[in-house]
Amino acid sequence: MEMKPQREWTYDRGDDRWKHCWNQARASFVPGRRGQVGKCSNQITDAIATELLRDGLYDKDLLVEGNDCLYPEEVFAVYDGAIYVAVPTRPGISYHGYPYKGSLNKRLVKRLQAKADEADCGVKFKKWVKEYIK
């Protein structure tokens, strides 16, 4: 029987976890003890985070097996032009997300651009990619 990733993942804000929180209505990065720390828009509620997670994009060639299911190690989404990545907190069950900067393959950036255009934030997305994506 072939295992497929399920999409009913839950978003795990993380009790007492404030690293990615701030009081701004936009995503950005601030200096931290070990480099830049991504700060999430304060407009993202748990419901929005869950929707972004379940509608997010991931590389189907990089699925991991665990907890009797396949799951991606990273799920990418766009909110207000910013790219977010979610990583497992309980593999195959829940994820925690934060703003992303770094390298992404061009195919994924193109797919995220389509999501941004669909959400009417394509201009902000292009600015994010220019500033934060290699």
Q: Is 29 in contact with 99 (CB distance < 8 Å)?
A: yes
For the chain, the domains span 44-132
User: Could you report the per-residue pLDDT of 13-69, keeping only the tens digit for each?
Assistant: 766 556 566 778 899 998 888 888 888 899 999 899 999 998 999 988 778 887 677
- Its pTM stands at 0.88
Q: Is 84 in contact with 97 (CB distance < 8 Å)?
A: yes
- Residue 34 CB neighbour total at 10 angstroms: 6
Check residue 18 and give its pLDDT: 60
User: Could you report the per-residue pLDDT of 107-126, keeping only the tens digit for each?
Assistant: 999 999 999 999 999 999 99
Check residue 37 and give its pLDDT: 86
